[in-house]
Amino acid sequence: MNNEKTIITLGFDRFQTYIGPGTSIQDRSKNCQIHVNLKYPSGFSFAIVDSVYHGFALLESGVTGDFLSTYYFSNDAANTCTTRTSIVGGGIWADGQVYTQQDTVPATNVIRSPCSGSDAILNINNRINLSSTKSSASGMISNDDATLALTQQINIKWYSC
C-alpha cells in the first residue's frame, strides 16, 4: 500500500492463460482469490474505485482475453462489485504487446467497508479467461519477464462516516 493509503498493488507470478491447438481447456482460465486484512481508523470507511492491470498479451485474431475482478468485504459477502475489461486479439496484439488495462467501478456499484473502523477483510477474486471464435487461433496473457506475470493496482477512496 502506498503512503497515502489509496493504492494496493498485487503481483502474480503464475497467473497465465493460454489458448490454441495443443492447449487444454484448463489453460484458458485462471482464478485467484485474495483475502486482504486491512486496518483503518475509526470514523472512516473505504471503497474500491478502479483497478489497473499490467502484463503481456499475445492474441491472434479471434481470441479475446477477459479480466474480471469481484470485490466484497467478509462481513457482507452478499454485497459484491464486479469489474470487467477485455483485450480483443488481432492487430497489434497478434505480435504481442505489453498492456495496461483499467476498469472503473460505477458509482452505483461501489461497495464500502464497515464504518466501525479498526479492520476489514477485503476479498478480491481475480479471473483471466481466454476465448476464441476460431479453433486454430492461439493466444496467451502472461508477462514479458520470468518473475512477474501480472500486476494489478487497486485504487481506494476514503469516506468519513
Task: Phi first, then psi: give them for residue 94, nearest 5 degrees.
Answer: -65, -25
Structural domain contains residue 19:
yes
Q: Tell the residue number behind the cell numbers 496473457, with chain if given.
A: 141
Q: In sequence order, which residues have a C-beta less than 8 Å from that of residue 42 and are 6 or more positions away?
A: 116, 117, 118
Question: Which segment, 89-93, 103-107, 116-120, is predicted with the most confidence on average?
Answer: 89-93
What pLDDT shows up at residue 143? 42
What pLDDT shows up at residue 146? 36
Q: Which bin fits 91, alpha (ψ -120 to 50), beta or left (φ > 0)?
A: left
Structural domain contains residue 99:
yes
The alpha-carbon radius of gyration of the chain (Å, integer) is 17
Q: pLDDT per residue over 34-68, tens digit each? A: 898 888 888 888 888 888 888 889 999 999 999 88
Q: What is the Cα–Cα distance from 131 to 66, expressed in whole angstroms? A: 8
Mean pLDDT of the region 104-132: 85
- CATH number for the domain including 90? 2.60.120
Torsion of CA 15, 19, 24, 25, to 10 degrees: 80
| pLDDT confidence bin for 23, thresholds 50/70/90 | very high
Domain, as residue range, for 47: 7-160
- The answer on pLDDT for 154 being more than 90 is no
Structural domain contains residue 1:
no
Mean pLDDT of the region 132-158: 72
Report DSSP state, residue 92.
G
Q: What is the Cα–Cα distance from 139 to 56, expressed in whole angstroms? A: 11
Structural domain contains residue 107:
yes
Torsion of CA 51, 77, 111, 10, to 10 degrees: -20
Q: What total number of domains does the chain contain?
A: 1
Mean pLDDT of the region 9-15: 77
Of 84-88, 108-112, 123-127, the range with the lowest mean pLDDT is: 108-112
Q: Is the pTM of this model over 0.75?
A: yes
HSE of 127, CA atoms in CB hemisphere, 13 A: 15
Structural domain contains residue 20:
yes
Q: In sequence order, which residues have a C-beta less than 8 Å from that of residue 31 and are 6 or more positions away?
A: 125, 126, 127
Q: In sequence order, which residues have a C-beta less than 8 Å from that of residue 152 and are 6 or more positions away?
A: 9, 10, 12, 51, 52, 53, 54, 69, 126
Structural domain contains residue 2:
no
Mean pLDDT of the region 98-126: 82
- The whole-chain average pLDDT of the chain stands at 84
What pLDDT shows up at residue 148? 38
